[in-house]
Amino acid sequence: GRRRRRRRRRRRRRRRRRRRRRRRRRRRRRRRRRRRRRRRRRRRRRRRRRRRRRRRRRRRRRRRRRRRRRRRRRRRRRRRRRRRRRRRSRRRRRRRRRRRRREKKKKKKKKKKKKKKKKKKKKKKKKKKKKKKKKKKKKKKKKKKKKKKKKKKKKKKREEEEEEEEEEEEEEEEEEEEEEEEEEEEEERRRRRRRRRRRRRRRRRRRRRRRRRRRRRRRRRRRRKEEEEE
């Protein structure tokens, strides 16, 4: 009954490892082959090896949980940064389009005024009485006065619109400066985080190497003692 249980456990472990990347597969296959060779060479003493296997399994499980938590945190931070950049670019494009439309409308109004001046060719009706000529003169004077008043109003409107546009440009420049400062601060924070991560990784690698060296030395010493005793 014991042999059947061991076979089932090995099949489940292989299925879980196939879902991961290729790099990890290669590293773990090499480790397995080395362990199998060691098992074939020495089969006399089995009690000590069982204890070592259990300790290694517990350490592996702890490392897997830590890696999964780190990956989830990194993905959430990247999504938030991308959304902020897209919103800023859309606001700038909308404001520039509004300015261009206002300038085009002003030019069209000026052209229409020039066309109205060409309609003063009604002086061919001189055959009629002089009374009608007086009426025409009065109408012309009134029209001129109205036109002058309209021009003054339009000048005021133009000045107000120009002031509003200048204020909008200043606000946009201030917003752009603030955004640039925020981006610079974010870049500095990222650099600091990267440096901290690199330092932590180096420290961990050094600790792992030291532990591995100590373990190898202990194993060699034990083997020598066992050989001497035999």
pLDDT tens per residue across span 190-211: 999 999 999 999 999 999 999 9
Q: What is the pTM of this model?
A: 0.25
Q: Say which residues have a Cβ less than 8 Å from residue 95's Cβ, sequence separation at least 6.
A: 168, 172
Q: Say which residues have a Cβ less than 8 Å from residue 102's Cβ, sequence separation at least 6.
A: 161, 165
**pLDDT for 171:** 87
Residue-range domain boundaries for the chain: 172-230
- Whether the pLDDT of residue 102 is over 80: the answer is no
Q: What tens digit of pLDDT does each residue of 128-172 get?
A: 666 655 555 555 555 555 665 555 556 777 888 888 888 888 888
Looking up tokens 């001189």 gives 126
Degrees to nearest 5, angle at CA 228 with 223 and 230: 95
Please give the average per-residue pLDDT across 37-58, as a whole number.
54
Q: How confident is the model at residue 217 (pLDDT cuts 50, 70, 90)?
A: very high
